[in-house]
Amino acid sequence: MSSGGAEDDIPQAERKTVTDFCYLLDKSKQLFNGLRDLPQYGQKQWQSYFGRTFDVYTKLWKFQQQHRLRTSETSYLNEAFSFYSAIRQRSYYSQVNKEDRPELVVKKLRYYARFIVVCLLLNKMDVVKDLVKELSDEIEDYTHRFNTEDQVEWNLVLQEVAAFIEADPVMVLNDDNTIVITSNRLSETGAPLLEQGMIVGQLALADALIIGNCNNQVKFSELTVDMFRMLQALEREPMNLASQMNKPGMQESTEKPARRENPHKYLLYKPTFSQLYTFLAASFKELPANSVLLIYLSATGVFPSGRSDSEGPYDFGGVLTNSNRDIINGDAIHKRNQSYKEMHCLHPGDLYPFTRKPLFIIVDSSNSVAYKNFTNLFGQPLVCLLSPTAYPKALQDQSQRGSLFTLFLNNPLMAFLFVSGLSSMRRGLWEKCQDYLRKINRDIAQLLTHSRSIDQSFLQFFGDEFLRLLLTRFIFCSATMRMHKIFRQETRNYPESYPQLPRDETVENPHLQKHILELASILDVRNVFLENTLDDY
């Protein structure tokens, strides 16, 4: 809700929504705290309490889904994890399978599905795999015992979560044959620090719309792989207050560390144009002063069939956020009649009204370049980061498992290893690469802030930690692809931006190119990169 206006400015229906949400939230906390105080023995004593608590959490879950409230507070996820774990540890649903009531079994299956979502968001992949195995067994038992109409749907849920887990690239450490599980939330050492002499703006990322509608991309619970990756890139690691209080200089102070806010997020899977515009307008209206609205679009491209006499913001196509029809030609829709526009295509011109406030746009699409034709009408900070419109043939089969561009913005080292063809290494080498990548990020920050010809919008956004990290990763991604041999086949294999970055000072800077070659040398994959890319232009 807006923090700048008086309570009277908030519509009555909206105020009631917040009141109802707060009531359910407080009630769930009271019941959960009471649940933790119950003794471990005596099934009758705690079983009814479990039922009441679970019912309130279910109502809260449904309420959030209906009203799309996104607190972005990871402590709530931790509370949900504790609650669902307690249900599992106490075998609350152990008696369900002995009763001839399919509705109770469905309730159990829904519990597993929600628990899996929470674990995915908390990056607890070991628990996820155990839960998937248990869910698989429960679905098999359910389908054998009851001849219901939702058997296919539950098998589809199982297939989706299995595909979702498999979609992430995996790095195996040769030392003990373990798999690296990385957290891609913003940590204290994540974003490069602002050094003395760096002149940047004071804007802060407040709201983010994460929109997904990629054809055939793996998803689970209305969350595509790309949406999941961007969601994590826009959240902080939960603060460990104990470790913070033990830092030098904190012992004598009675003040707790300042609470760090996550940007407020809306997750929109296949939104219609009217739904998307409603959320955009709400975010725009409630955006606090000196704040930024981020729009992330991961969607199928919509192309015009030809050029019109006047090329305006609606003549280059855009991205498709929703469609009830089958996709034509796999990944893109081509219109036979230029005068006819796809109803749910989001054109650059559709976003012009929202450029009255600072706007940061990321477009991951086969027609991302439509947003190169943006115009900054109101003089506010405006940046668009645009994915490649095509990938080398050797990588095109990976599109269902998420976009390489978004992977670079989420986990640049894993993306670098993926394009280098690596899936295993020594633990010490992994840690060395992580350290070296942090050095690269620091140097990219210096290149960007010391540039004499860069558009000031980039510097205005650079004061925010999240946006700073996205910008440095974008430049690293662009530089890597420009130096990689298989990406050099076509210029559409490169990311672009609006406004355009000064290439010689950023993505093609010799100092940065040297760093990338050094990282490739550490990994013994220097042969897949070009030694001197500037001579090719």
Give the number of residues written for the chain. 537
Tokens of 376: 């900054």
What are the beta bridge partners of residue 5?
Answer: none
User: Is pLDDT at 300 greater than 50 in this prediction?
Assistant: yes
- Measured CA to CA, the distance from residue 405 to residue 395 in angstroms comes to 12
User: Is pLDDT at 510 greater than 90 in this prediction?
Assistant: yes
Mind listing the pLDDT tens digit for each residue in 464-477? 999 999 999 999 99
Mind listing the pLDDT tens digit for each residue in 171-226? 777 767 677 777 778 876 667 877 777 788 899 999 999 999 987 888 887 889 99
pLDDT of residue 252: 43
3-state secondary structure 104-158: HHHHHHHHHHHHHHHHHHCCCHHHHHHHHHHHHHHHHHHHHHCCCCCHHHHHHHH
What is the three-class DSSP state of 501? coil
Q: Which carries the bigger pLDDT value, residue 523 or residue 28?
A: 523
Contacts of 287 (CB under 8 A, 6+ apart): 206, 207, 293, 357
Q: Which carries the bigger pLDDT value, residue 67 or residue 32?
A: 32
Q: Which carries the bigger pLDDT value, residue 350 or residue 61?
A: 350
- Measured CA to CA, the distance from residue 310 to residue 307 in angstroms comes to 8
Range scoring the smallest mean pLDDT among 259-268, 272-281, 428-437: 259-268
Other CB atoms closer than 10 Å to residue 221's CB: what's the count? Answer: 16
Amino acid at site 461? F
Range among 160-169, 184-193, 289-298 rated most confident: 289-298
User: Is pLDDT at 338 greater than 50 in this prediction?
Assistant: no
What are the beta bridge partners of residue 386?
Answer: 363, 496
Range scoring the smallest mean pLDDT among 29-43, 169-183, 187-201, 256-270: 29-43
Calculate the dihedral angle through the C-alpha atoms of 346, 350, 352, 356, rounding to the nearest 10 degrees: -100
N- to C-terminal Cα separation, the chain: 50
pLDDT of residue 237: 79
- What domains are there in the chain, each with its CATH number? 12-169 (no CATH), 204-238+261-325+341-528 (3.40.50)
- Measured CA to CA, the distance from residue 489 to residue 509 in angstroms comes to 20
Tokens of 73: 């507070």
What are the beta bridge partners of residue 297?
Answer: 211, 363
User: Is pLDDT at 250 greater than 60 in this prediction?
Assistant: no
Mind listing the pLDDT tens digit for each residue in 431-487? 999 999 999 999 999 999 989 899 999 999 999 999 999 999 999 999 999 999 999
Of 222, 325, 319, residue with least CA distance to 273: 319
Other CB atoms closer than 10 Å to residue 29's CB: what's the count? Answer: 13
